[in-house]
Amino acid sequence: MMTSEQSRKKIRIIIYLIMAVITALAGFYLLWLLRSLILPFLIGTFTAYICFPLIDFAKRKGVPRGIAIFLLFGIFVLMISVAVNRIGSILPDEKEKLVLKTRLQYKINEKYREIMDLNKPDSQGNFLYGIIGKDLNRTMAKINDIIALSDQEKALFMKYWSGYKGKPPIEDRYFDYFKKNLESSEITIEELESEELAEKTSSKDEPGKESVLSIILDIIELWIVMPFVFLFLLIDDGEIKRYFVSLIPNRYFEVSLTVIDNVNNAIGNYLRGTMIECSLVGISSTVLLALIGFELKWAIIIGVFSGLTNAIPLVGPVFGLLTSVFYALIVEDINSILPFINMDNLMFWVVICLLIIRALDTAVFQPVLVGNAVNLHPLVVILGLIGGSMLFGTAGLILTIPLIVVIRVFFSTLLKELKDYRMI
């Protein structure tokens, strides 16, 4: 016979199970509905994690918690506004983008011709070209397809060349590059100057302006969550944790708190370590690239990009390398303080710089700051990156690996503690 206590316990378990399933389903549904908010939420959370020791430091120095949070939040908002402002002004505008693409296409083709010895009239190319020339030509055609300006962009280029939107005209040498690039294209300068395409580009301008405004509003609406998550997590003085801990049965009370604390520490250390590591990689890139003669603006852009992508294991450094190499490819002149660096050996020095940065990161920054928390299987990294970029685009590409590391740390700590407490 089942006693009333046993039957009550059974009913209790069933009710708990049903509630857990309903809550999990509702949670997943809600998460799916609010999936666009996940990214700002994650960034707000990660930033708060990075800032927790600063609050502790302020408290240790006698600064009241409220004032410390107020100051940190002020700095956070200020940094975002400055970053948005500066990035907006430092990033290439429409005209600069067109010029950059044109330069890139021209320089890649020029380098290809140079390496394959195709520049001389009636040249049959070098030995390598003789063997795999056909395959290489096909590959180059594909690369040209990818980086070439679209017909509308070409028409827009023409407009900017003769002066458009109050901007100074595009330099003649870049127009020469443009003409050279057009040789492999089906469209001619005359066709580009025809009214049809010009109309197309100008008719695109008006709705474009509206859509930019609506995009900005959408972004603000979405990203406004981030500072609030950041503030909320800083204000919380353990109340969220206490609430969840109060729901945990006594049997799992100690183990749960141990897991929460260990996971908290591990995630905090990993995120702070990664942030400092990425910053150091970014700063090293900027300094070294500026040293070998990159224009400071571009050294900063490439440095920031290399630092951000450095959070992605395996693939991140490749992005940094590619950006630097592309810039070295399109740069017209350099102004290095080191006299032995010139246009002819620039690419060599770019590679040397990147090797120094990689060596520093692998031998010093990563072991000291992050430890081995990031030792993920390459397959997990690749699948994570594909999934992350499919869901959240570029930001997903950067944030997926930290998120995977956080999940991995959580489960490994949970299993370790459950074993230590002899529960499994």
Partner 1 sequence: MGELNGEKIHNFWGNIFKKDADPSSLNVTDILKMIPIFQNLSRRDMKKVAGIIYDRVYQPGEFLFEKDQPGAAMYIIKKGKIKILAPGTQNEEVILATLETGDFVGELALLDDSPRSASAMAVEKTAALAFFREDLNKLLNTNPETASRIFKELALIIGKRLKATNEQLFSRPL
Chain residues in the site for partner 1 (CB under 8 A): 56, 59-60, 237-238, 242, 245-246, 250-251, 253-254, 257-258, 261, 420-422
- Shortest reach from residue 259's CB to partner 1, in Å: 10
In the complex, least distance from residue 264 CB atom to partner 1, rounded to whole angstroms: 9
Joined together, the tokens standing for residue 416 give: 């370790």
* Residue whose CB is less far from partner 1, 168 or 238: 238
Smaller CB distance to partner 1: residue 59 or 165?
A: 59
Nearer to partner 1, 116 or 271 (CB): 271
Of 121 and 238, the one with the shorter C-beta distance to partner 1 is: 238
> Distance from CA of residue 381 to its chain's centroid?
15
Q: How far is the CB of 231 from partner 1 (least distance, A)?
A: 19
User: Minimum Å distance from CB 265 to partner 1?
Assistant: 8
Q: Residue 114 or 237: which CB sits closer to partner 1?
A: 237
Cβ closest to partner 1, residue 72 vs residue 330: 72
Shortest Å, Cβ 247 to partner 1: 12
Return the number of other C-beta atoms located less than 10 Å from residue 302's C-beta.
23
Give a three-class secondary structure readout of the chain: CCCHHHHHHHHHHHHHHHHHHHHHHHHHHHHHHCHHHHHHHHHHHHHHHHHHHHHHHHHHCCCCHHHHHHHHHHHHHHHHHHHHHHHHHHCCCHHHHHHHHHHHHHHHHHHHHHHCCCCCCCCCCCHHHHHHHHHHHHHHHHHHHHHCCCHHHHHHHHHHHCCECCECCCCHHHHHHHHHHHCCCCCCHHHHHCHHHHHHHHHHHHHHHHHHHHHHHHHHHHHCHHHHHHHHHHHCCCHHHHHHHHHCCHHHHHHHHHHHHHHHHHHHHHHHHHHHHHHHHHHHHHHHHHHCCCCHHHHHHHHHHHHHHCCCCCHHHHHHHHHHHHHHHHCCCCCCCCCCCCCCCHHHHHHHHHHHHHHHHHHHHHHHHHCCCCCCCHHHHHHHHHHHHHHHHHHHHHHHHHHHHHHHHHHHHHHHHHHHCCCC
CB of 420 to partner 1, least distance (A): 5
Cβ contacts of residue 175 below 8 Å, gap of 6+? Answer: 161
Q: Which is nearer to partner 1, 58 or 351 (CB)?
A: 58
Q: How far is the CB of 9 from partner 1 (least distance, A)?
A: 12
377 versus 422: smaller Cβ distance to partner 1: 422
- What's the closest the beta carbon of residue 269 comes to partner 1, in angstroms? 14
Residue 267 Cβ vs partner 1, minimum distance, rounded to whole Å: 14
Residue 343 or 423 having the CB closest to partner 1: 423
